[in-house]
Structure 1
């Protein structure tokens, strides 16, 4: 299973006051709070942990076919990129750029394909272009649908595929990841 999340760092800075009283306690476990408050760059660690939680949430929801319900404190992030939820452990990779932070979460080491876009009008179209190239099929045969829990699925020639895909956007950035 796979999930992803992107944070536009400028939008996060303008719209979210993570230093507001009670914010960290509401979102982060006590161990995460300790990591953040002792960090040389606490704001970046806040968004890294947030991005890790969101990416793992998507992977975990898909894996167990869960109804949408995010409880950030049920996810325990570590500085080495592992996230614990229930009896599961997810690996995360976070790419930090000057303007955004992008995390991919997964439970296995299967190959995946991912791409980040800035100011893209239609992330789904961009994802379809890449998927049709990777699978050697025509773009008109590919469509995305959401299942009953809001998890995106890939359909090719009107048949649902087992190919997991996760799509994210925030501010001026969009990204997708798929196990192709």
Structure 2
């Protein structure tokens, strides 16, 4: 399974005050908090850990078909690995001046991913174009539909697929990761 998350760093600075009392206690373990406070760039470290936890949560939820329940304090980050209830997820993060994009997966998985600036309401166009090319179908036949646990699924024509993928957006950025 695969999950991904993106954090618009500009928007995160405006909307979230991670320094307010108690915020980190709800999100990060003691060792993660130590990592944040000793980092050269604490803001970047907070949002990288958040992105890692969110990406791993999406892969975990899809793998076990859990109903939505994001409780980041239960997800432990050590280096580039996130552990959720004895399940380990390997993460890869791309850090730019504008965003942090993280992909999480359990095993050696071949995947395609892309982070990009959102353009009005057509931000899923990038994902649909990749699916169209990969599966040799027209983009007009592709749609996304959520299952009972609000997990997004790719629909091609009338067929709901089981293609593992993750789509995310925050602020001015969006990203996808799809197993190939």
TM-score (structure 2 length as normaliser): 0.95
- Other structure's SS at 1:44 match: helix
Where do 1:145-156 residues align within 5 Å? 145-156=145-156
**Matched length:** 179
Residue by residue over 1:135-176, the C-alpha shift from the partner in whole angstroms, topping out at 9 and shown as x without a partner, is 112222222111111111112231122211211111100111
- Contact in 2 for aligned 1:27/1:73 (Cα 8 Å): yes
User: d(CA) in 2 for partners of 1:133 and 1:19?
Assistant: 44
What corresponds to 2:53 in structure 1?
Answer: 53
Unpaired stretches in structure 1, ≥5 consecutive residues: none
Alignment of 1:136-175 (within 5 A): 136-175=136-175
Partner of residue 82, structure 1: 81
Measured in 1, the distance between the counterparts of 2:70 and 2:158 equals 31
Question: For the Cα contact (< 8 Å) 1:145–1:153, is it kept in 2?
Answer: yes
| Deviation sequence 1:71-91 (CA, Å, 0-9, x none) | 11000011x210001010000
Q: Partners of 2:123 and 2:154 in 1: how far apart?
A: 14
Supply the distance in 2 between the matched residues of 1:124 and 1:37 (Cα, whole angstroms).
Answer: 36
Aligned to 1:20: 20
Which residue of 1 is the match for residue 41 of structure 2?
41
Cα deviation code 1:62-103 (max 9, x no counterpart): 01010101111000011x210001010000000000111100
2: CA distance, partners of 1:150 / 1:125? 21
Q: Separation in 2 of the partners of 1:115 and 1:21? A: 35
Aligned to 1:97: 96
Aligned pairs for 1:59-138 within 5 A: 59-78=59-78, 80-121=79-120, 122-138=122-138
Could you tell me whether the CA contact under 8 Å between 1:120 and 1:174 is conserved in 2?
Answer: no
> How big is the shift at 1:117?
1.5
Distance 2:22 2:165 in 1: 34
Whether the aligned pair in 2 keeps the contact of 1:2 and 1:59 (CA below 8 Å) is yes
Could you list the runs of 5+ residues in structure 2 that have no partner in the other structure? none
